Structure 1
Amino acid sequence: MSTALAADNKERLSIVLVNGEEIYIRSGNSHTFLQDYQLYVKGTDTEGKRIWIELRRKELPLQDAIVTEGSQFVYSQNSSEVLNLTVDTIYEGADGVLVRFSPVYQYLDPRLPLPQTSAESLSNASDNTSSDRPQLETQAEGFDMPLFLFGLGTVLLATGFFAGKGKRK
């Protein structure tokens, strides 16, 4: 993970902590960002089209929203953007929903100290070329994408088969 500088339209430079990555969060679970921000998927409507997300820092609620696929969620602190993410896909299943957020951007919150992993990366960037650097996990634990796609295909095939039988009568 490396930090980068980004300039917004006010020409103020921001330190980018997460640069356009994707994350997956199951309903009832959360993803922890640097500087102790946590994004929770609190719930979904009955059709699985809208989800309720909440941003917290050290268990204190900061902002929540009801979003749909394609929605953007932005959290700013003192007119400095801290988190900017887009709800890319909402997968509905028997165990609830799995949400894919992409792209995801996190900027350094200037009121908080630099995260240890980022400061370490900055100081060791020139001499650390090993592949054992920590990576962000982008897939929910226990989620099997091929199995999910196989199940989805089976459901669609069965739906098509029974829909065809209904038309013949």
Structure 2
Amino acid sequence: MHVPNKHGRKSRKGVSFFHAIFSSVMIFFLFSIIVSFTALPAAGDDKHDNNERLSIILIDGDEIYVRSGNYYTLLQDYQIHVKGANSEGNRVWIELRRDDVFLEDAIVGKGDTFVYSNNSTEILNLTVETIYGGASGVLVKFSPVYQYLDPKLPAPQTESISPENSSDNNSSVSPVSKNQAEGFDIPLFLLSIGAVLLMTGVFAGIYKKK
């Protein structure tokens, strides 16, 4: 009659327990990778949204006309003045003001671009397309004209950036996306822990039967 080897049985139990622990660690590792990759796209989207909020376009490629001695009022009370022209009528002196306060000026010709930035934030970008000469002075056509929101000033009440539209855009970002953007998703983490415990129990039960 064959007598069971108790030492061998204990050895197999030890090996089985080791396999159960090893399997549980591997499952936990896989779930950790899933959690990490789930958080990465959300973080990228959040960064993209921040960039969009920092570059809200007020004037998008429009054209404006300004006669010498006059000015054109842009949004947020910026004003572009045409102070005069040279004798040939091919270059003009323009000046940017806000609330009658001088900001910047330049001498530009046809095809030149005037850019104004405030603390490294671009506010105005306009190109001189044509300079029309006449007996009473010159008429300057600026095109395209781009103006971006100055975050330090009150936002103009226009349809494109009205408070209602801004609140709608903010509400489209779900709380789950915000949690994922921070790199931590509590429900998914708890789910992974539960799965690890479940699989540990399953493996332990299988090896115990063996």
Q: Which TM class, normalised by the smaller chain length?
A: 0.5 to 0.7
Among residues 139, 143, 146, which one is paired with 1:102 in the alignment? 143
Given that residues 27 and 97 in structure 1 are in contact (C-alpha distance below 8 angstroms), is that contact kept between their aligned partners in structure 2?
Answer: yes
Question: 1:6-155 counterparts in 2 under 5 A?
Answer: 13-118=54-159, 121=162, 123=164
CA gap of 1:124–1:81, structure 2 versus 1, over 3 A, is closer
CA RMSD of aligned residues (A): 2.3
Calculate percent identity across the aligned residue pairs.
65
Kindly provide the amino acid, as one letter, of the partner of residue 111 in structure 2. Answer: G
Partners in 1 of 2:134 and 2:163 — Cα distance? 41
- The total of aligned residue pairs comes to 117
Other structure's SS at 1:21 match: strand
Partner Cα separation in structure 2 for residue 87 and residue 71 of structure 1: 6
Q: Deviations over 1:69-114 (max 9, x none)?
A: 0000000001000000000000001110000000000000011010
Mapped partners of 2:112, 2:103: distance in 1: 18
In structure 2, what is the Cα distance between the partners aligned to 1:124 and 1:106? 19
Aligned to 1:148: none
Task: Tell me, in whole angstroms, the C-alpha distance in 1 between the residues paired with 2:105 and 2:128.
Answer: 14
Give ranges in structure 2 of 5+ residues lacking alignment.
Answer: 1-47, 167-210
Deviation at 1:11, TM superposition (A): 7.8
**What amino acid is the match of 1:24?**
Y
The one-character-per-residue Cα deviations of 1:49-81 (angstroms, maximum 9, x if unpaired) are 110000000000000000000000000001000
Structure 1 residues 46, 85: CA separation in 2 closer, same or farther (over 3 Å shift)?
same
Q: 1:122 to 1:21 in 2, by over 3 A?
A: farther
* TM-score, normalised relative to structure 1: 0.64
Q: CA separation in 2, counterparts of 1:27 and 1:36?
A: 19
Q: Which moved more, 1:12-21 or 1:89-98?
A: 12-21
With normalisation by structure 2, the TM-score equals 0.52
Q: Kindly indicate which of the two structures has a greater share of residues assigned to helix.
A: 2
Hey, what's the Cα distance between the residues in 2 that align with 1:82 and 1:26?
22
Change in CA separation of 1:95 and 1:104 when aligned onto 2, cut-off 3 Å? same
Unaligned segments of structure 1, at least 5 residues: 1-6, 126-169
Match of 1:138 in 2: none
Counterpart of 1:35 in 2: which secondary structure? helix
| Secondary structure of the structure 1 residue equivalent to 2:151 | coil
